[in-house]
Amino acid sequence: MVVDDNADMRDYLRRLLGAHYNLMMAGDGLAALSLVASEKPDLVLSNVMIPGMDGLQLLTTLRADPQTSTVPVILLSARAAEEDRIEGMALGADDYMIKPFSARELMARSKRI
């Protein structure tokens, strides 16, 4: 699942990952939760700063639900401060990637999880 409010980023990630994964796309955290209710994803890539329910709130909600608590989550963010990365990891993210990131690195990290 890809969760990002930026249509260009969603399109980029669709092109990058679509050949390797069946993707669900959401523009915000609330839409992502709605999709998760119908089909549990194998991996969630979520921007931190998205409208409605941000990526950190989405992560916390996924971790609190026994049905989704073990779904790997990679947070993507332009927020690069050490405190931001630590906050995401402390909330249970499996990884935290800073934008801009390389396609090769994202592919390697998503396959590792």
Max CA pair span of the chain: 35
Residue 112 has pLDDT above 90, yes or no: no
pLDDT of residue 61: 98
pLDDT of residue 83: 94
Q: Structurally, how many domains does the chain consist of?
A: 1
How far, in Å, CA of 16 to CA of 34, rounded?
A: 24
Render pLDDT for 10-65 as a digit per residue (tens, 0 to 9). 999 999 999 888 999 999 999 999 999 999 999 999 999 999 899 999 999 999 99
Residues with Cβ within 8 Å of residue 96, at least 6 apart in sequence: 74, 75, 77, 84, 85, 88, 89
Q: Residue 35: give its domain's CATH number.
A: 3.40.50.2300
How far, in Å, CA of 3 to CA of 88, rounded?
A: 15
User: What percentage of the chain has pLDDT greater than the value 90?
Assistant: 90
Render pLDDT for 69-109 as a digit per residue (tens, 0 to 9). 999 999 999 988 999 999 999 999 999 999 999 999 999 99
- Say what the pTM is: 0.94
Domain housing 89: 2-112
Contact (CB, 8 A) for 65 and 95: no
pLDDT of residue 28: 97
Residue 113 has pLDDT above 90, yes or no: no
